[in-house]
Structure 1
Amino acid sequence: MSIKSIIESLSFFSALSTQEVELLASISAIHSYSSDYVLYYEKDESNNLLFLIDGLAKTYKIDKHSNEIFLYYIYKESLISEITDINDETLTSFSNVALVEDSQILSIDYQQFKKHFLEKNLLCLELVNEISSRSQKIESLINREFIFDSVEKVAMMLDADLDMFNKLKRHDISLILHIQPATLSRVLNRLKRNKIIDIMQGKVTILDTIALREIGND
């Protein structure tokens, strides 16, 4: 697909006219990367606004003991770059971002994007929505790390991202939620015993969505 066709396929840019899409394509490039490729590291500066066209990325930090602290996933057709101040001429990353799957990235010259789009009030609402979505992920992260107990953490992940839960190994889920594998097993068995979930061949299905969400809202 051409850059123009790819841009037209992304809902973020659906409000643009044909001429505006062509202008955006002229300041953009498409890149393909393999899984495990690190797009940028914490505090890196970039002149490009990145969108994930296809694939999966994760954001994470490294603690003082060199342990990886998982933050959240970035799914296809989502903004990758972190914008803290729209007046800045460059973008500074808050965390490390690495690809979990082979992925395709749309890279846009940020200064030109500001000049031809944001300063003309184009795509401002879409950008605000993306930033708001990122803020909600940070809020969920804070709840997960500092407020929720192990049962609430598991219930939240099952409700928010069942497909990813079933895709990952239990060990990886434990690392993401910062709980012990044995604790994860006990929680899953408890939810199954209470007929909130079922587990068949290692895959979880939700039997009672309302009960599952009530756990996370306690």
Structure 2
Amino acid sequence: MSELIALLRNVPLFRDLTDEEVERIAAIAIPRTYPKKTVIFTEGSAREAVYFIVDGLVKTVKVDENGHEQIVSLLTTGDMFPHTGFFDQSPYPATAEAVEPTRVFAIPVRAFEQLLLSTPTIAVKVLRVLGAKILELQEKLQALTGQDVRHRLVAVLLRLAACHGTAQDGAVVLNLPVTHQDLANMAGTTRESVNRLLNELRRRGIADMTRRQIILYDVEALKAWANS
């Protein structure tokens, strides 16, 4: 319980809740463990719970009408998914899969709804946070609209760095087991385009990528390269 309470206190959705309110949410959570490459839920299936990652790595994926996979997000410790899970009755919007062995706490949607009905103060605080998140997402979408492949790839790298990067000897290191195809899916382009752009970044000494790491040697140079 103490592990879950500490986790929930760091979830942006619950940032304005009191200790007592967080404990009431923790009381309805269910611990679950998923081995590597296990599907947690599939796109289009009935929405039953919202998940909070204790440790591990999860990717959420959508498949378009042509059968092409697009990675929506990579999620790690402290992240919640799906983001609108508590307030949307539609099926899961994407498929979630454990990239590595992953531990989560699942909060059933119906139990959370009952908690909101019995504790309106929680409902009001959570809705305020969601409103701010919607505005943030709108701004990000506007920023990405119309960008070329180079800008989209750099935007993906910078977003991953902000969420998963650690500073090491002046560089930013991302310990993520992602592939060139994963980056292509996130940037909305082809693996060949990502290969070409990463090779250019490697030649310039700006960034590099291995099977389990992405290294950004110079973030400012990366931003300048995107605009060159």
Q: So what's the TM-score if we normalise by structure 1?
A: 0.71
Amino acid paired to 1:212: L
Structure 1 unaligned spans of 5+: none
Instruction: Provide the rounded CA distance (Å) in 2 between the counterparts of 1:47 and 1:200.
Output: 37
Instruction: Provide the rounded CA distance (Å) in 1 between the counterparts of 2:46 and 2:210.
Output: 45
Instruction: Provide the rounded CA distance (Å) in 1 between the counterparts of 2:83 and 2:7.
Output: 22
Amino acid paired to 1:72: S
Amino acid paired to 1:186: R
Instruction: Provide the rounded CA distance (Å) in 1 between the counterparts of 2:149 and 2:118.
Output: 47
Q: Which residue number corresponds to residue 167 of structure 1?
A: 177
Instruction: Provide the rounded CA distance (Å) in 2 between the counterparts of 1:101 and 1:61.
Output: 19
Instruction: Provide the rounded CA distance (Å) in 2 between the counterparts of 1:22 and 1:207.
Output: 42
Question: Structure 1 residue 177: deviation in Å?
Answer: 3.3
Q: Which residue number corresponds to residue 46 of structure 1?
A: 47
SS at match of 2:60: strand
Contact 2:4–2:26 (8 Å) recurs in 1: no
Question: Structure 1 residue 103: deviation in Å?
Answer: 1.5
Amino acid paired to 2:102: S
1:151 paired to 2:150: yes
Give me the identity figure in percent: 21
Contact 2:5–2:23 (8 Å) recurs in 1: no
SS at match of 2:51: strand
Structure 2 unaligned spans of 5+: 162-172
Question: Structure 1 residue 106: deviation in Å?
Answer: 1.6
SS at match of 1:61: strand
Q: Which residue number corresponds to residue 199 of structure 2?
A: 189
- Alpha carbon RMSD of aligned pairs, Å? 3.7
Distance 1:50 1:57, change over 3 A: same
Distance 1:210 1:169, change over 3 A: same
- 1:69-120 per-residue CA deviation (whole Å, 9 max, x = no partner) reads 222222321220242884x6x4642222222222222222222232244554
Question: Structure 1 residue 15: deviation in Å?
Answer: 5.1
Contact 2:47–2:91 (8 Å) recurs in 1: yes
Distance 1:61 1:170, change over 3 A: closer
Amino acid paired to 1:158: L
Q: Which residue number corresponds to residue 6 of structure 1?
A: 4
Alignment size in residue pairs: 209
Q: Which residue number corresponds to residue 106 of structure 2?
A: 107
Amino acid paired to 2:3: S
SS at match of 1:44: coil
Contact 1:47–1:111 (8 Å) recurs in 2: no
Q: So what's the TM-score if we normalise by structure 2?
A: 0.69
